[in-house]
Amino acid sequence: MGHGVATAHLGCARYLIFPSPVAGAMSLDFYYVPLSPPCRSVLLAARAVGVKLNLKLVDLAAGDNLKPHYLKMNPQHTVPTLDDKGFALWESRAILGYLVQQYGKDDSLYPKEAKKRALVDQRLYFDIGTLYQRFGDYYYPVLFSGAALDAEKLKKFEESVEFLNKFLEGEKWVAGSSLTIADITIAVTLSSAEILGFEVSAKKYPNVVRWFTSAKSAIPGYQELNTPGLNDLKALLPAKK
């Protein structure tokens, strides 16, 4: 989501009930907005790792992220931002890697072995630079600037889902044989497109559909942590005339 997000009712009260804390775990301050896909990736990764987040809802419309204390922590003023006892980190995919390395019980979500990690990184960069980028190029002008859907931008997004379909040929997960943080961030991107009306077609993208179905049940807390923000995103769609 770009700058100047026109927000969205943030529905604060509803979010105070999640995510459920993990008993005995450490707590990290987490600045977020549920409708933001990068924020939802972090919620899911934290649950998968077993880290409790001390949730701090940021009201972008009110400029919470432009206040001095926020800018001191993150001069780029984006959500999500993690504050681990004074260590501030933003960029969701960097946060996902950090959570696994710092707090994971093992490295399965972000393997240490060079080639396995390189493959996860490739998929993370594919998401930030291609899949999520093209998703945003297509949908965000409609949600935040009142623009019309652009067929050329849709073609570019469809091409990126076709790439994903090819990556998944004969593979259970997006970066090898086990679930990783790349599955989390890519599932969040795809679910965000789906809620906004993109058809994840079994005919066009059979491998993606097979993987997406598995990911939705294998990612811990998927429905609980992803669905409320998806619904908020959908509510930003202009009413059909």
CB of 24 to ligand GSH, least distance (A): 28
CB of 201 to ligand GSH, least distance (A): 26
Q: How many CB atoms lie within 10 A of CB 199?
A: 11
Dihedral sign (CA 27, 18, 1, 189) = positive
Name the segment binding ligand GSH (CB under 6 A); options: 72-80, 148-156, 168-176, 208-216. 72-80
Using CB under 6 A as the binding rule, whether residue 191 contacts ligand GSH is answered as no
Using CB under 6 A as the binding rule, whether residue 203 contacts ligand GSH is answered as no
Q: How many CB atoms lie within 10 A of CB 105?
A: 9
Which amino acid, 37? Answer: P
Round to the nearest angstrom and report the end-to-end CA distance of the chain.
Answer: 25
> Quick check: 54 and 1 in contact, CB under 8 A?
no
- Cross-strand pairs, 32: 57
Q: How many CB atoms lie within 10 A of CB 10?
A: 19
Report helix, strand or coil for 55.
Answer: strand
Using CB under 6 A as the binding rule, whether residue 36 contacts ligand GSH is answered as yes
User: In this complex, which beta carbon is closest to ligand GSH, that of residue 58 or of residue 109?
Assistant: 58
Among candidate residues 27, 36, 201, 217, the one labeled active-site is: 36
User: In this complex, which beta carbon is closest to ligand GSH, that of residue 52 or of residue 77?
Assistant: 77
Using CB under 6 A as the binding rule, whether residue 91 contacts ligand GSH is answered as yes
Q: Give me the 93-122 binding string for ligand GSH, x by CB under 6 A, dash otherwise.
A: ------------------------------
Q: Specify whether 36 is catalytic.
A: yes
Residue located via tokens 């896909």 = 37
Q: Which residues of this chain interact with ligand GSH, rule CB under 6 A?
A: 1, 3, 5, 36, 38, 60, 65, 77-80, 90-92, 128
Kindly list the catalytic residues.
Answer: 36
